[in-house]
Structure 1
């Protein structure tokens, strides 16, 4: 999986919350990919006892990047606006430094974070030759899992969040596949 420049190809694991991204990331890490220094990874908890495999500095960067755009991720021009940030030196330099932290001479590196799907147009201008691994779980099952783990039990019968989750699922999938439409597939 080395690139034409002799470097290991980075791996981005993409998918909506509760769709199996942590499980897939764990498999890829067990195969040898570098997820980042252990102390910089989101800690395991009851929802993901094996860990999330989310690199906290990258999570913070993505959250700041999304906030900097000035419009909701649901706005039609969000993807174009976030892509423009890749050409602004401060954002570009920070992103390149984050990616450089991950580089290893002996193995590929991995990033997993659901919100990467919304910022792919940015990352395509920053990181070359990425391998994208995309999880696809039935949105009904993902919504049920999300509700079970993140909605307090006292509220589960009072609030219906399935409709919102289905829209979010669709938004993330359309963002992912729309941005990667011209990407080489294996």
Structure 2
């Protein structure tokens, strides 16, 4: 199984990822985790290499996780896209040696369409949390105004719906 935990920042994706890990799904080798933090003391359950690759995708599209108003994968230059696609294929091939495996990374809300084309039968677990709760959490963690957090949630929700097609 190829399992993806997809959901906005602060929506419960870390909890779902930890449950998958406890159920025996492969996460990765020692030292690959981004670790934990004050706002998530039990761990984020994100891989450094996956976060770096997703950031590379976002930056190539002249975007970031919190700058998505005009995000489009079509903005990525073809030479950058070739490099990204090679890295995606290599990482998925390495993970496939450890099935069932899971990946959790909030940036998948935007980048999953690039990942999807290299997967056989991905299982996607989409987490949902009230937009006002997410906005309140983003305000505490990042200092974002509530209206910005809710607008970000709405943009991400639309991107997730678009990636299902």
Q: Unaligned 5+ residue runs, structure 2?
A: none
SS in 1 for 2:91: helix
Q: Unaligned 5+ residue runs, structure 1?
A: 1-8, 152-159
Whether 1:90 aligns to 2:83 is yes
Whether 1:43 aligns to 2:30 is no
SS in 2 for 1:13: strand
When normalised by structure 1's length, the TM-score is 0.77
Aligned to 2:69: 74
Aligned to 1:131: 123
- Could you tell me how far apart the structure 2 residues matched to 1:102 and 1:38 are? 14
Q: Give the counterpart of 2:145 among 138, 161, 165.
A: 161
Question: What is the Cα-based RMSD across aligned positions, in Å?
Answer: 2.3
The 1:92–1:144 alpha-carbon spacing in structure 2 relative to 1, beyond 3 Å, is: same
SS in 2 for 1:132: strand
Aligned to 1:122: 114
- Larger of the two Rg values belongs to structure: 1
The 1:14–1:85 alpha-carbon spacing in structure 2 relative to 1, beyond 3 Å, is: farther
The 1:85–1:131 alpha-carbon spacing in structure 2 relative to 1, beyond 3 Å, is: farther
SS in 2 for 1:114: coil
Aligned to 1:175: 159
When normalised by structure 2's length, the TM-score is 0.86
- Could you tell me how far apart the structure 1 residues matched to 2:54 and 2:124 are? 17
Q: CA deviation at 1:148?
A: 2.4
SS in 2 for 1:111: strand
- Could you tell me how far apart the structure 2 residues matched to 1:96 and 1:89 are? 11
Q: CA deviation at 1:88?
A: 4.5
Q: Give the counterpart of 2:102 among 101, 105, 110.
A: 110
Q: Give the counterpart of 2:20 among 20, 28, 43.
A: 28
- Could you tell me how far apart the structure 2 residues matched to 1:125 and 1:81 are? 18
